[in-house]
């Protein structure tokens, strides 16, 4: 059964037609990546899935439930969480409190505890800084916190918006290997990335987006060898 399926989604910001008929799907267990240049509409897709924006047209189904009519808080409870673009951690809360906020939609105290432990094992740096204010973490640590916080909702589908943005190459490699780990532990991932090279190494499939439309799709291998992708996103000539 397909996990997530978008059909002909149109999303607007006022008069700006940001998504012009997006259709895509994500199968259980996959890592699917969305590639595209700035302003192509990648963030808009994630926000539409999570109910933070309402598409004007089209349907979104998650495990056969219609998402486009549900409020954001119900969608989180269904098992979709997001590490948003720009991280958006709570700067005046500690690392611990940020993680607790990530589990806001849950009430199983015991499960929250094991998931906190799991998140801190994935990101040992956060364990060292458990009582530090989120706003005083370094950029990379904030990115880790944003991903860990998203995991605290125990999602079945994890949405990651540019997790490598602004990180040093070392850290980028590390973050992608953690993403791989999260996927290996059974979480399906929809990954938005500027760093196409890295994204295509962890992803199974990918979609290429241009000004609100999908122009190319295929397995990661196909995309890696595709002429357009090589030129536009992998920086080859």
Partner 1 sequence: MAQAIKSRNILGAIAALTVLLFGGWSGAVIGWLLGTGAAFIACQGKKITSAKTGIRLGVNAGLGLGIWILIASLVQGFLLLPTTGQSALGIIQVLTLGGAGLVVATLSGWLMGAAQGLGPRRQRITVAFLAVILITFPLIDQLADTNWTATVIQILIFALLALGLNIVVGYAGLLDLGYAAFFAIGAYTTGFLSSPQINLEWNFWLVIWIAAAVAAVAGVILGAPTLRLRGDYLAIVTLGFGEIVPVVFRNLTQIQIYEPISKIFASLLGQPKLAICLVGCDRPFNLTGGEAGINPIGRPALPLIGTFQSGKYLPWYYLVLLLVVLSVLMISRLRGSRLGRAWAAIREDELAASAMGINLVQTKLMAFAMGAFFAGFAGAFYGAYISAIFPSVFDFSVSVIVLCMVILGGLGNITGVLLGCVIIMAADRLYLPQLAQVLKSMLNTSVLPNVANPALRDFLATSVDPLQMRLFLFGLTLVVMMIVRPEGLVPNAERQAELQSPDEESLAEVRSL
Number of H helices, E strands in the chain: 10, 10
- 153 token code pair: 């909702």
Q: Kindly state whether residue 175 participates in binding ligand ATP, applying the rule CB under 6 A.
A: no
For ligand ATP, the binding residue among 9, 31, 32, 43 (CB under 6 A) is: 43
Can residue 43 be called a binding residue for partner 1 (CB under 8 A)?
no
- Region from 37-45, 67-75, 99-107, 131-139 binding ligand ATP, contact rule CB under 6 A: 37-45
DSSP for 128-179, written as a single string: HTTTSBGGGS-HHHHHHHHHHHHHTT--SEEEEE-TTTT--HHHHHHHHHHH
Residue 33 binding: pick among partner 1, Mg ion, ligand ATP, none (C-beta 5-8 Å cut-off by kind)? none
Beta bridge partners of 35: 208
Per rule CB under 6 A, is residue 38 in the interface with ligand ATP?
yes
> Residues 6 or more apart from 94 whose CB is under 8 A from it?
130, 131, 132, 133, 134
Which region, judged by CB under 5 A, interacts with Mg ion, from 19-27, 39-47, 114-122, 169-177?
Answer: 39-47
Positions touching partner 1 (CB under 8 A) are 50, 52, 71-73, 75-77, 81-82, 84, 86-93, 97, 100-102, 104-105, 133, 135-136, 149, 153
């Amino acid at each position: 059964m397909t996990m997530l399926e978008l059909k002909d989604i149109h999303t607007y910001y006022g008069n700006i037609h940001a998504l012009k008929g997006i259709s895509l799907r994500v199968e259980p267990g996959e890592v699917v990546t969305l590639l595209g240049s700035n302003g192509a509409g990648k963030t808009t897709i994630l926000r539409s899935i999570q109910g933070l924006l309402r598409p004007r047209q089209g349907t979104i189904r998650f495990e056969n439930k219609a998402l486009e009519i549900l409020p954001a808080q119900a969608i989180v409870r269904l098992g979709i969480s997001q590490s948003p673009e720009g991280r958006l951690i709570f700067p005046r809360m500690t690392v611990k409190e940020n993680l607790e906020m990530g589990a806001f939609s849950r009430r199983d105290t015991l499960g929250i505890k094991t998931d906190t432990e799991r998140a801190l094992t994935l990101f040992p740096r956060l364990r060292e800084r458990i009582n530090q204010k989120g706003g005083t973490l370094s950029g990379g640590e904030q990115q880790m916190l944003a991903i860990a916080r998203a995991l605290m909702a125990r999602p079945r589908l994890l949405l990651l918006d540019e997790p490598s943005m602004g990180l040093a190459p070392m850290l980028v490699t590390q973050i992608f290997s953690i993403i791989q780990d999260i996927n290996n532990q059974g979480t399906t991932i929809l990954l938005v990335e500027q760093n196409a090279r890295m994204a295509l190494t962890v992803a199974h499939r990918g979609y290429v987006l241009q000004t609100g439309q999908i122009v190319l799709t295929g397995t990661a291998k196909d995309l890696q060898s595709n002429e357009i992708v090589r030129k536009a996103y992998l920086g080859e000539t």
